[in-house]
Amino acid sequence: MLTIVSELFLTDSFLIKGEIERKYARLSQVLDEHRRYFLKIRNATLVDLNTCDRISTPILNVNVDEILLAHEFLDSANDPTQAELYKNQRYNKVRVFFTGHLNLEVGGEVRPGSYEVDDRATRRFFVMRNPVLRGFNNHEDSDLKLLSKLPYMIVNKTRLSYIYDFNE
């Protein structure tokens, strides 16, 4: 059965595909502003990162603090407002490392200081452009391979343990 998904979430144990229930804005904003412990995902498929086993369920509640990375599938190329916002934006090259048992490293480009607690544009999550994952075994699984082909990722700054900012 083919399921069309609009969001991906990576935790220490699973890649989760599905749609956020009652989504009112872009995923980065929804995650940043979410006031509950759990995010309700409809038509969820969980892919085990070790065995690639799949679990499908109509409803899944995911603890927001467990999310390492997220991605929203949408056509941003046709969004002139978004393009205008980022036209003159400066980006820093960084490499980030996560806490937890998944030895994950992601390199990419971020707004300067977006990973800091005093960043005025974000609270818990920030966007990384052109991400490159290291330390992650995709087991040649088609769903897990998606993670290495994404143009951006939404990163949970509370789960980061180390950051190399190459512009400091």
Q: What is the pLDDT of residues 37-64, one digit of tens each?
A: 999 999 999 999 999 999 999 999 999 9
Q: What is the mean pLDDT of the chain?
A: 88
pLDDT at 24: 81
Q: What is the pLDDT of residues 6-48, one digit of tens each?
A: 899 999 999 999 999 888 888 988 998 888 899 999 999 999 9
pLDDT at residue 79 greater than cutoff 60 = no
pLDDT at 35: 83
- Dist. CA 43–CA 18, nearest whole Å: 5
What are the domain boundaries of the chain? 7-72, 77-140+157-165
CA trace torsion 91, 11, 160, 90 (10° rounding):
10
CATH 2.30.30 fits 7-72, yes or no: yes
